Amino acid sequence: MLTNVAVLAYEGVAPFELGVLCEAFGLDRREHGVPLLDFAVCAETRDPIPTSMGFSLQVNESLDRVREADLVAVPALPRGRVAPDGVIEALQEAYERGARILSVCSGAFTLGMAGLLDGRDCTTHWMYTDELQRRFPAANVVPEVLYVDAGQVITSAGTAAGLDACLHIWRQEYGAAVASMVARRAVVPPHRDGGQAQYIARAVPDCDADTLRPLLTWILENLAEEHSVDTLARRALMSPRTFARRFRDETGTTPHSWVTRQRVAAAEEMLETTEQPVEWIATEVGFGNAAALRHHFQRVRGVSPQQYRRTFCPAPTEASA
């Protein structure tokens, strides 16, 4: 049972992510039926700790406090920073004795430095997932989720996804009612649909499409038309086999996959900026019907078109519903 939480702070710590952990585990909510946890922020030094935002923190608890914790949490820090040796050792010792380890956003890099991501599913902010995989190739980085619970180690995506992971831990330890009360006090939903794929800004893929660039531009301007390998090959004046090979060489993917992602991206923009119904949008971007749009949108973004619109459209209307 979770009773004791220690949060690690060190130079460059991000105040928001640190605040998320304090909000989730450090407040006294006993009047609402939420157990009070023994909570502390810990540091290797008693000197003021510079944050990533230009002000400093005074932390009174030393790393000795980590030895008592059931859960050790690591907030974000600027990428490229190296966590202090004492912090790495404290994480490794906590892991060895069976404590759960939680990272928020780029705090996953600190867990990687401690060797706690090797052979394990994990995540971080969508902007940094590729870098996390490069730096820690033994990890299995899952880019499209809000958090990953890999048993003893939990990693969350960017910023507010840390709160999703904290609520998940509350739910595991004390049940849905307690997690819901923590969420209500924080004025957030107790569980969010989908993953961070819905928040990733995907532009037209950056590729060396020297030969096919005019064709790709034409496809983007004519998404509503049918685009098979045969029809596109004829427009490119190639045989279908040569065209398919050239397309993969220049874009890194198949014609079908590339066109589908461009249609999803166009649908996203319409969901955000228009009040048109999903059926109309599906026709405009070339999916033909709402069912096909929902299928591909869910697969690419992890949420339905309606859920995406509710998240990103400032004022949904009856038409958008």
Query: Which CATH number does the domain 4-197 belong to among 3.30.565.10, 3.60.15.10, 3.40.50.880, 3.40.50.300?
Result: 3.40.50.880
The gap from C-alpha 56 to its chain's centroid, in whole angstroms, comes to 28
Please give the average per-residue pLDDT across 197-205, as a whole number.
53
Model confidence at 175, pLDDT cuts 50, 70, 90, reads: confident
CA dihedral 240→245→249→255, nearest 10 degrees, is 50
Is the pLDDT at 314 greater than 80? The verdict is no
CATH superfamily of 213-312: Homeodomain-like (1.10.10.60)
Mean pLDDT is lowest, of 48-52, 67-71, 245-249, 309-313, for 309-313
pLDDT tens readout for residues 35-91 = 999 999 999 999 999 999 999 999 999 999 999 999 999 999 887 788 899 999 999
Nearest by Cα to 256 from 279, 230, 221: 230
Note the pTM of the prediction, 2 decimals. Answer: 0.68
Q: Hey, where are the domains in the chain?
A: 4-197, 213-312
Q: Which is more confidently placed, 145 or 194?
A: 145
